[in-house]
Amino acid sequence: MATTTTLATAASATEAAAGAEAAGTAACAARLAHVSKSFAGPAASQLVLDDISLDLAPGEFVTLLGASGCGKSTLLNLVAGLDEPSAGTIATDGRPALMFQEHALFPWLTAGKNIELALKLRGVAKNERRDKAEELLELVRLKGAYGKRVHELSGGMRQRVALARALAQESNLLLMDEPFAALDAITRDVLHDELTRIWAETGLSVLFVTHNVREAVRLAGRVVLLSSRPGRIARQWTVDMPQPRRIEDIAVAELSAEITEELRGEIRRHGRH
C-alpha cells in the first residue's frame, strides 16, 4: 500500500490522475516529485532542499552523497515521514524502516528484546516474537546473541542488532542515515559485506545517506550527488560493477575519484556564494 506525504492535496485532482499516481508508485519503492524544504530563520526562511525529483525502483540500492549540511539527512527524514515537505510530494511503497547513525538500542533490554519490541509494534503475536528475533539475529550473523545486553556488544555488533531491528519491521524500503560512520575502517568494511549480502537475500530497496564517496560506490547501484545548500540533484552515476565489491577495487577507486572531483566542484561553487 502506497504512503504519500504532501504539502497539500488539490481538491480538483481527477480520479484519472490519482490512478496514474498510484500506478506510478506501485512501480517504485519511493517517488519524490519536486520536493522542497524550508526552515524558518530569524529574518527569513532558509531553503534547504530545492526541487528534488527522484525515483527508487523496487530492489534498488541508492546512495545519497553530498557535503555536510547539503540536506541529505533532511531528505531522508522526509522520506521516512518524520517531517513534511514544504512543496512537492513523496510516495513510498508502505512505511519505510529507518536506521540511524547511532544504534539507538534500549540499554535495559537485551539484543533479542530490542528486536522483539519492533515486532510487538508491528503486531506480531507474543509467542512468535522470540523465534523471529532469533532468525533476524542469525541473518545479521549474531546467532546466540539474543540474551546479550547492549554494553556487552561491540560497536559493530550494536549496529548489526539495529539493522536486525529495522528488518523486523518487514518494510520494502530501508532508509539508512550514515549507519557506519562511527565505526573503525575494518568493522565498517565487514558491515559493508554484510549489508550487501542481506540486501541481495531480501530484495529490499535501500536509500543510504553517506558523505564517504568510496562507501557510496562500494555499496550502491546508483550514486546521487546533492549540491551544497540548497540541496539539489547535481548529478547521478549508475555503478555498473558486479557485487561483491571492495573499497580497494580499481574500478571503485576510479569512479570514486570522478565523483570526488565533482563533489569538490560543488563545494567550491558553494564557497563563492
Q: Map out the domains of the chain as residue ranges.
A: 101-170
Range with lowest mean pLDDT among 97-111, 123-137, 232-246: 97-111
- The length of the chain is 273
The torsion of the CA quartet 96, 99, 100, 106, rounded to 10 degrees, works out to: 110
Which three cell numbers, joined as nine digits, stand for 135? 532468525
Report the pLDDT averaged over residues 145-153: 94
Alpha-carbon distance of 81 to 97, in angstroms, equals: 10
Secondary structure (DSSP) of 174-243: EEEESTTTTS-HHHHHHHHHHHHHHHHHH--EEEEEES-HHHHHHH-SEEEEEPSSSB-EEEEEE---PS
For residue 1, pLDDT beyond 70: no
For residue 68, pLDDT beyond 50: yes
The torsion of the CA quartet 8, 12, 15, 21, rounded to 10 degrees, works out to: -30
**Structure confidence by residue, pLDDT tens digits, 39-52:** 987 777 889 999 99
For residue 74, pLDDT beyond 90: yes
Model pLDDT, residue 11: 36
Confidence of residue 104 (pLDDT cuts 50, 70, 90): confident
Report the pLDDT averaged over residues 4-13: 44
Average pLDDT, the chain: 88
Provide, rounded to the nearest whole percent, the portion of the chain with pLDDT above 90: 72
Q: Does 230 sit behind a cis peptide bond, omega within 30 degrees of 0 on the bond before it?
A: yes
Model pLDDT, residue 229: 81
Model pLDDT, residue 45: 83
Alpha-carbon distance of 167 to 259, in angstroms, equals: 30
Report the pLDDT averaged over residues 201-216: 94
**Structure confidence by residue, pLDDT tens digits, 179-194:** 998 888 898 899 999 9
Q: What is the pTM of this model?
A: 0.86
Confidence of residue 14 (pLDDT cuts 50, 70, 90): very low
Confidence of residue 26 (pLDDT cuts 50, 70, 90): low
The strand pairing partners of 40, in sequence order, are none
Q: Answer for the pair 171, 207: CB distance below 8 angstroms, yes or no.
A: no
Which residue type does 49 have? L
Model pLDDT, residue 267: 82
